[in-house]
Each structure stands twice: as structure tokens, then as C-alpha cells.
Amino acid sequence: MSAALQLTYAQAAALALSQAMDADPTVLALGEDLGRGGVFGQYRDAEGQPLVQRFGPDRVIDTPISESTIVGAAVGMALAGCRPVVELRVVDFALCAIDEVVNQAAKNRYMFGGQGRVPMVLRMPIGIWSASAAQHSQSLEAWFAHIPGLVVVAPATPADNHGLLLAALASGDPVVYMEHKELWPTTGDVTPGAVVPLGQARVARAGGDVTLVSWSRQLHTCLAAAEQLAGQGVNAEVIDLRTLWPWDKDTVLASVAKTGRLLVVHEAIQVAGFGAEIAATVAEHTDAKVARLGAPRIPVGYAASLEAEARIDAGKVTAAVQRLLRR
């Protein structure tokens, strides 16, 4: 295995995709803006060159602006033996292809007794995108975790965006792959070819007083909150879930058995968010004190003051932990 590289979150994903395309001629990518390297540069190599220059327009395919057509074509490609990577730019636009994702890709293997497989990766960037307002800033991971047949992944670091994308590309099932819109420029060590198994959480910070569970950009918020809490004498354990379905119940339950307290934190709206699934599972299996922290049930506003109301920052996490400790 190669030595670690310093890469951005976007470069780490591009490296995983290019490695998979080198190894398997059936892997291809299709979507809008791929020819120029993607809206966030996620289809450019570490030297900044668009991947289409390396693999050609037959494998890095620019499409019309029609998400239902893009996903429908990709489902057909997957059933015919290809392994397509579908770029949907932001999760908000994936709603234009919800039938193809939910009723075609997710259900095919079950409905046809395993005769058809849909090994595709659907890249749907999630989260608040500064000053991009209500139709470009949603976190809809709970929608897709609810659908049988879909794997749901939400990487938080460049290393995980590389390793989880490799795992997703090797999966025989449709994977909803949710990168955060504001993580693209973040940097970190990435070991080329290092696969991160699906369904395996990571303990990002050890602690004994309270368990914080999160994923995607909110992992970094929780780590910042853990530092604040440490200054207040509270030792928080932080778990990065990494995969929402399947999610790593064993790691979460083992941590909560030690701390006796759980706070699930996510950027998505708290009402019916995936945090409720984690909280309910922990409540069913332990006597721990359990709480959730998510966004209020409002659209994300364009004005900075309104956008701030929808953001979950380290101060809000710290305050929620202090409330949990007083219960």
C-alpha cells in the first residue's frame, strides 16, 4: 500500500474513483458538470486536471440537466453489467429522481429474486452550503436510510471519503453516498487504496462521561464541543458513524454502556431525523440517558442570521450535553 498523501476531501474521492476506473473498465461516471471536474472539483485529480482528460468522455460522461434521466440511465447501465457513479450535484436535486432511486434501484434485487443487481454509487452532497438557501442546503439522509435496498454512507474526513468510496464502488448494491458540501476543501492524510468497510463506526475521541454520536460535518462540531467540555471537566467520547445504513450498533452500545449517556448530533432537522433511530435503539437496549440535537424544523435561510438558526455549532452541542448531565 502506498504512503499517505495530504489531500483534500474532494481530491481523496477523485483518487478513489480513478483507482477504481483503472482497475475495472466497467466503472464509469455520469452527471452534470463532470467535464469541467465537477462543481466542487471532486472529478479533478491532485494536479487539478479533470478526470475526463484521463478516461475520456465515454467513461466520464456529461449529461443533460435531467436527474431522472441520469439515474434511470445509470440503473439500466448497472443492470447491464456496468458500475456507474452518478453525480447529482447536491442532494436537493436528487429529489427529481426519487422514483428511479427508490422504486427502481433500491427494489430491483428483491423484486426479481436476485437476478438483477444495481451496483451503483449515487453521490448526493448534503448539508448547509453557505448563502445557498433552502433548495441547496438540505440534509436528507434519513429519507434514504428508510428505504430497504439502499446503503447510506456519510464520510467526514478525506481518509474516509477515499476509503468509503472504494468500499461503495465495490458493493453490489446501490449506495447513496452523501458528501458534505462544506467539507470539500478540508485536508488530511489519505492512504491510497486503504478501504474503509461499510457499516463500521470510528471512535474519534475516547471518553468516559458522555457519548456523542454524529457523522459528516457534525463530527468536527462534536470534536470541537468535546474540547470545550474537557475544559469544564467533562470527558466526552465522540463516535463517527460513517455509515448510516448499515449503522454500527455494537460500537455505539459499547460506548454508551461505559458512559451511561448519549447525545446524537446531526445537521438534519431533528424531527424524524436519523438520530431518532439511534436514540430509540439505545433506549431499547440500555438504561442510559438519551438526547438528540438537530436543526429546527425550518427551511435554511439565505440571510446569514437565518442560516445560523439552522446550524448546529459547538456551543449548542456543549449546552445540550450540560442539559443531559443535569437530568
- Give the catalytic positions in this structure: 136
Q: How far apart are CA 55 and CA 47, in angstroms?
A: 15
- Write the CA distances from 74 to 58, 78, 112, integer angstroms: 13, 6, 18
Nearest to 116 by CA among 102, 129, 106, 126: 106
Q: How far apart are CA 321 and CA 315, in angstroms?
A: 10
3-class secondary structure for 247-281? Answer: CCHHHHHHHHHHHCEEEEEEEEECCCCHHHHHHHH
Beta-carbon count within 10 A of 287 CB: 10
Q: Answer whether 127's CB lies under 8 Å from 217's CB.
A: yes
Interacting residues of 130 by C-beta distance below 8 A, sequence separation 6+: 182, 307
Find the angle CA(94)-CA(98)-CA(101) to the nearest 5 degrees: 95
